[in-house]
C-alpha cells in the first residue's frame, strides 16, 4: 500500500483518512510538479501505465495527455470519481480511474503494465511489503516501477516536517502501525523490494524536488487548506482542538510554511525534497 486481503480494521481507517477531506483542493497546488515529473520519465507511447494512489490524476492526466494508456487506482472513492470527471472533461479516452487497495490489487492481472508509478500514494498504504510485492507482480518483465516518497526528518521536505509536527498533536498510532515515512529510507526501500524478489542492483534512488505552487494562497492560507482538506492534517487539527492546542498547532505549521516559502510575490512556492525510487524488476 503476501496477497492477503486486508481486514476491515486495517483497511477502513486508511480509506476513511483519504476520503475525510477533499484532496483535490491540495492536488491543485501540485499540478505543475506533476507535469514536470511525468516529462522527466521519458515516456514513449504506446505504453500501459498504472498510477497507484493516483488521487484525481496529478500524474495520471499528463501521462494520458502524451498518449499512454493509464489506469489510476486509489483507495478513496471520492478521488476516483473526481479523476474520472477530469478524464471525461479532458476527452482522455485512454485514462480510467478505479477504486482499489495498493496492498491487494486483486483486480489486476500479473504482468499488466509497462510502468507502475506511485507518487506520494502507495507509501501511505498500511502494509509496505505487500505493496512492493503487488507493484512487482503487476509490472511486466523489462518494465519499470517509479515511486516518489517523502523522506523522514528531512529539513528540506515540507511535507515531512508537516507530518512530523502533526504527529505531535495526535494520539499514538495503533499497535502494528508502520510509518509511511519508511518509504523514504534507502535501506527500507531495498528491504521491501528485495523481499518482493527484486535484486538490489535493480533498485536505484536519488533525491528530487517537488513543489507546491499557488499564486493565490499565502502560507497561512495553505495551512488553512491543509487543515480543511488533507486527511493527516485534518486529524491533527481535530485532536488539537479537543486538547485546546489548535492555535499552537496552527502557529507551528504557518511558521513552517513561511520558512520554506520561496515565492517572491504574494503566493506560495514551496519546494519539498523527496526520494525518487526506480525499480527494474
pLDDT tens per residue, range 39-63: 999 999 999 999 999 999 999 999 9
Distance of CA 84 to the CA centre of its chain: 18
Strand arrangement of the beta sheet that strand 203-214 belongs to: 95-99, 69-74, 48-52, 113-119, 139-150, 268-279, 203-214
| pLDDT grade for 12, boundaries at 50, 70 and 90 | low
Cell numbers found for residue 17? 483518512
pLDDT at residue 278 greater than cutoff 60: yes
Using one digit for the tens of pLDDT, what is the confidence trace for 227-263? 999 999 999 999 999 999 999 999 999 999 999 999 9
At 21, is the pLDDT very low, low, confident or very high (cuts 50, 70, 90)? confident
Residue 135 φ/ψ, nearest 5 degrees: -65, -40
pLDDT tens digits, 145-161: 999 999 998 888 899 99
pLDDT at 4 over 50: no
Question: How high is the pLDDT of residue 18?
Answer: 85
Domains in the chain and their CATH numbers? 13-154+176-213+272-279 (3.40.50.150)
* pLDDT single digits (tens) 98-140: 999 999 999 999 999 999 999 999 999 999 999 999 999 999 9
Can you give the pLDDT at residue 155? 87
Beta strands in 188-267 (DSSP E): 203-214
Helix and strand element counts for the chain (H, E): 11, 7
Q: Write phi, then psi, for 113 (nearest 5 degrees).
A: -125, 145
CA distances from 190 to 105, 143, 149, 183, 198 (A): 21, 18, 13, 10, 9
Q: What is the pLDDT confidence band of residue 75, given thresholds at 50, 70 and 90?
A: very high
pLDDT band with cut points at 50, 70 and 90 for residue 13: low
Q: Whole-number mean pLDDT of the chain? A: 92
Q: What is the DSSP string of 22-70?
A: -THHHHTTSHHHHHHHHHHTT--SS-EEEEET-TTTTTHHHHHHTT-EE
Grid coordinates given for 190:
531495498
Amino acid at each position: 500500500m503476501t496477497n492477503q486481503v486486508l481486514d476491515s480494521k486495517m483497511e477502513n481507517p486508511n480509506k476513511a483518512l483519504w476520503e475525510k477531506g477533499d484532496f483535490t483542493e491540495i492536488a491543485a497546488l501540485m499540478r505543475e510538479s506533476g507535469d514536470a515529473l511525468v516529462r522527466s520519465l521519458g515516456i514513449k507511447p504506446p505504453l500501459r501505465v498504472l498510477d497507484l494512489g493516483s488521487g484525481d490524476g496529478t500524474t495520471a492526466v499528463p501521462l494520458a495527455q502524451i498518449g499512454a494508456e493509464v489506469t489510476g487506482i486509489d483507495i478513496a472513492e471520492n478521488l476516483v470519481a473526481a479523476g474520472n470527471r477530469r478524464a471525461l472533461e479532458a476527452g482522455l479516452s485512454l485514462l480510467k480511474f478505479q477504486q482499489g487497495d495498493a496492498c491487494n490489487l486483486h483486480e489486476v492481472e500479473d504482468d499488466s503494465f509497462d510502468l507502475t508509478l506511485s507518487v506520494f500514494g502507495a507509501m501511505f498504504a498500511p502494509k509496505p511489503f505487500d505493496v512492493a510485492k503487488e507493484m512487482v507482480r503487476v509490472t511486466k518483465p523489462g518494465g519499470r516501477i517509479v515511486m516518489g516518497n517523502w523522506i523522514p526528518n528531512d529539513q528540506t521536505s515540507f511535507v515531512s516536517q508537516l507530518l512530523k509536527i502533526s504527529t505531535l498533536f495526535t494520539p499514538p498510532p495503533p499497535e502494528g502501525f508502520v510509518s509511511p515515512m519508511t518509504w523514504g529510507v534507502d535501506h527500507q526501500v531495498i528491504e521491501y523490494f528485495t523481499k518482493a524478489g527484486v535484486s538490489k542492483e535493480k533498485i536505484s534512488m536519488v533525491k528530487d524536488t517537488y513543489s507546491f505552487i499557488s499564486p493565490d494562497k499565502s502560507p497561512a492560507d495553505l495551512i488553512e487548506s491543509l487543515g480543511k482538506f488533507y486527511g493527516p492534517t485534518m486529524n491533527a487539527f481535530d485532536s488539537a482542538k479537543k486538547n485546546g492546542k489548535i492555535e499552537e498547532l496552527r502557529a507551528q505549521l504557518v511558521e513552517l510554511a513561511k520558512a520554506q516559502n520561496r515565492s517572491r510575490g504574494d503566493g506560495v512556492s514551496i519546494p519539498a525534497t523527496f526520494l525518487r525510487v526506480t525499480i527494474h524488476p
